[in-house]
Amino acid sequence: MQNFEPIFANDGYRPNVGIIICNREGQVFWARRINKDGWQFPQGGVSRNESLVDAMYRELHEETGLIKGQVRLVAHTKQWLRYDLPQRLLRNQRRRAQGPGRKRVNFKGQKQVWFLLELTEDDSAVDLKAGPETPEFDSWRWVDTHHAIDNIVDFKRGVYQKALSELGRFLPTS
């Protein structure tokens, strides 16, 4: 895997991994955020003590219940893809970080390396409640890539377009 250093650069972007899971027909895993109307691909932050690949497999399990042996790593983006968070979300992040003993959050958005995985098991392997914490998602389904781009929140659309443009050529075709 290519070196993405510095992962924790003081560039204003929180390091993150994005995960596109596909099935054998080339459809992608599309999940609804718990108690919300928003749908998205799994994604999550990278801890200081883990590699991007380790973070990706951790997030994969936490958000979908899938483990390394149930997917095949197909490809990843060659560079960081960035998006800025809207001001309303930045205010919420800052407010949460101001509690006792909490570290101040100073970032303007996320930088992500996106991974394309192919599910090698049947759909029953997905378990949204398998993670150690409150589930991230409450529902999921297979969709085509255009559906994902058309239905992601506006501030993430550019990153989704770039990730799918780069990784889409690796999707299986039926």
| SS3 assignment, position 169 | helix
CA distance 148 to 19: 13
- The chain-wide mean pLDDT, for the chain, equals 90
28-32, 57-61, 66-70, 93-97 — which is least confidently predicted?
93-97
Containing H/E element for 127? none
Residue boundaries of the structural domains of the chain: 13-168
Q: Which residues of 120-159 are buried (b: 16+ CB within 10 A; e: fewer)?
A: eeeeebbebeebeeebbbeebebeebeebbeebeeebeeb
Mean pLDDT of 159-174: 94
Mean pLDDT of 103-124: 89
Mean pLDDT of 153-169: 97
Mean pLDDT of 93-121: 76
* The predicted structure's pLDDT at residue 131: 84
Is the domain spanning 13-168 CATH 3.40.640.10? The answer is no
CA distance 148 to 31: 10
